[in-house]
Amino acid sequence: MSASVPASASVPTPARSAGTPTSAELLDFVRRTAADADLVASLPLDPQGRTWVRLEGPRGSEAWLIGWPPGTGTGWHDHAESVGAFTTAAGTLKENSLAARLPTDGWKTLELTEGVDRERNLATGQGRAFGRNHVHEVLNESPTEHAVSVHAYYPPLPQIRRYSRTGPLLRLEHVERPEDWQ
């Protein structure tokens, strides 16, 4: 992420139950949060870089409200052992993902097989949940409009692995830790 907004917000969550949140509960949280028009409108938007505010997620999860200027994206990455969910709160985001379970350690370059690529366009109010080691990239392909999204992860992100992609070759480039983006 390129720009940070040093603020925190809290969104009411349903009564807490024992245990850890499921990806379905995270998806419910991000959908409810994305529907909070006042919260979404409070996010400062930067014309050059993404902005974000950390939110209070359900049962110890990590959550973020993120602003996406036109033409920005995350690059290929995963969230390691965290499950997660995100919903578009304004605009449209595109998610490219891999429908393949990748080894988690001990490799630098993989050749992907045909048919593993998936593409989703997520307009305002649409979202998805995902499991551990989900490799994807998220993009705002609009040439003129900002997008805003809400993301939640559990456990809180221990790391993000960044990849480069050239055709069928996926290369692990580096690993980010929480101190790199907080």
Domain residue ranges of the chain, discontinuous segments joined by +: 8-180
Q: What is the pTM of this model?
A: 0.86
pLDDT score recorded for residue 2: 40
Is there a contact between 43 and 7 (Cβ–Cβ < 8 Å)? no
Q: pLDDT under 70 in the chain at which residues?
A: 1-18, 104, 181-182
CA distance 32 to 169: 37
The pLDDT tens digits of the residues spanning 139-176 come to 999 999 999 999 999 999 989 999 999 999 999 999 99
Token digits of residue 148: 């805003």
Token digits of residue 56: 């209070």
Domain at 8-180, CATH homologous superfamily: Jelly Rolls (2.60.120.10)
pLDDT score recorded for residue 106: 79
CA distance 75 to 163: 7
pLDDT score recorded for residue 179: 85
CA distance 126 to 14: 21
